[in-house]
Amino acid sequence: MKNIFVGNLSFSVTEDYLRSLFEKYGAVDRVNIVTDRDTGHARGFGFVEMSNDAEAMKAINSLNGIDLEGRTLNVNEARAKTDRPRSQGGGGGRKRW
């Protein structure tokens, strides 16, 4: 099972469209376009899961760098989310002096 990251998506791309794009290379198990939790609008990236590793690699190699609706796709194997150190104070990132 390969989890594929798809970045720089046009905000008009749907999960169905993304599925059809990847199905040209093999069976697609799941498609998820990430949305903003407050507005519900697409954030410009998503994930595609394919069970066959060879088909997934063919899709990655074929689709990475193509132009889709005026945007150059960034397609690669998704990396595991790592634990990031939390900042002191719990938010914002900038300290007020």
pLDDT digits (tens, 9 = 90+) for 46-74: 999 999 999 999 999 999 999 999 999 99
Check residue 57 and give its pLDDT.
97
Domain spans in the chain, listed from the N-terminal domain onward: 2-77
What is the Cα–Cα distance from 74 to 77, expressed in whole angstroms? 10
9: pLDDT strictly greater than 80:
yes
0.85 exceeded by pTM? no
Q: pLDDT tier at 20 (50, 70, 90 boundaries)?
A: very high
Check residue 91 and give its pLDDT.
56
96: pLDDT strictly greater than 90:
no
Mean pLDDT of the chain: 89
34: pLDDT strictly greater than 80:
yes
Helix, strand, or coil here: 91?
Answer: coil
Strands of the chain (E only): list them: 2-7, 30-35, 42-50, 67-68, 71-72, 74-77
- Range of weakest confidence among 15-29, 61-75, 76-90: 76-90
Q: For the domain 2-77, what is the CATH superfamily, name and number?
A: RRM (RNA recognition motif) domain (3.30.70.330)
Give the neighbor-by-neighbor strand order of the sheet with 74-77.
30-35, 42-50, 2-7, 74-77
